[in-house]
């Protein structure tokens, strides 16, 4: 599951002996994914209004990964790429679900 691989990756990068650090909030937020789902669904519904269609998400994923690769260089390891790919996939799928629910809700009105 992407959460554990992202969090494990983060933990592995901490220097030894610093086990009691406070996690930065983005990672803490990822650990409470259920709380994010309604917000990400709403984001997906807004994106449908912006004109974003499901087929637009793959090119955006590729642009994101390309940018991370250029920006992070050697730090963009296969692990990091895998974690970002999974995070994006879950976000995109949740956004699609939110867009579909919103359009279904509109159609029912």
Q: Which residues bind ligand HEM (CB under 6 A)?
A: 43, 46-47, 50, 52, 56-57, 60, 88, 91-92, 95
Burial class of 28 by CB neighbour count within 10 A (0 to 12, 13 to 18, 19+): exposed
Shortest reach from residue 17's CB to ligand HEM, in Å: 35
Shortest reach from residue 16's CB to ligand HEM, in Å: 34
Nearest Cα residue to 97 out of 31, 13, 38 = 38
Look up residue 44 and give its two tokens: 């997906």
Nearest Cα residue to 37 out of 85, 96, 104, 80 = 96
- Residues 88, 30: contact at Cβ < 8 Å? no
Closer residue to ligand HEM, CB minimum distance, 27 or 43: 43
Shortest reach from residue 57's CB to ligand HEM, in Å: 4
Shortest reach from residue 88's CB to ligand HEM, in Å: 5
Closer residue to ligand HEM, CB minimum distance, 63 or 72: 63
Closer residue to ligand HEM, CB minimum distance, 85 or 108: 85
């Amino acid at each position: 599951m992407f959460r554990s691989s992202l969090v494990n990756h983060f933990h592995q990068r901490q220097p030894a002996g610093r086990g009691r650090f406070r996690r930065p909030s983005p990672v803490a937020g990822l650990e409470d994914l259920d709380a994010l789902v309604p917000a990400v669904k709403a984001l997906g519904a807004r994106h449908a209004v912006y004109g974003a269609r499901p087929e637009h998400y793959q090119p955006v994923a590729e642009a994101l990964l390309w940018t991370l690769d250029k920006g992070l260089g050697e730090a963009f390891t296969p692990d990091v790429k895998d974690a970002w790919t999974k995070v994006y996939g879950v976000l995109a799928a949740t956004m699609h679900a939110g867009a579909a629910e919103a359009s279904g809700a509109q159609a029912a009105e």
